[in-house]
Amino acid sequence: MSATAVVAGVEVSPDHFIGGERVSSAATFPDISPIDESHLADIARGGGAEIPAARPSFGGSVAEVMGSDTGPIASTDARNL
């Protein structure tokens, strides 16, 4: 589990929440405040390593979960799930 970040006085985890548990990632991306452009935290970046853990929690294909309003997601990234 990664270190927590404090946002507006509240501790939050920058990790994924998969299957009821926090899951960290080797890769992260910076979360920047839109107010003053300060660095808030490094957030877990999901990728191929996290997909096997997330898939059972997903409950179906993107099309099944989102219905017909899948837009470009279903035709690009989701086919890798």
**For residues 14-30, average pLDDT:** 87
At 10-20, the pLDDT tens digits run: 898 999 888 88
Global pTM?
Answer: 0.58
The ranges assigned to domains in the chain are: 1-46, 47-81
Give strand pairing partners of 18: 21
Q: What is the mean pLDDT of residues 62-69?
A: 56
Cα separation, 15 vs 23, whole angstroms: 6
Per the DSSP assignment, residues forming a β-bridge with 30 are 42
Q: Which of 37, 46, 57 is nearest to 80 (CA)?
A: 46
Q: How far is CA 10 from CA 5, 6, 13, in A?
A: 8, 5, 10
Which pLDDT belongs to residue 59?
A: 66
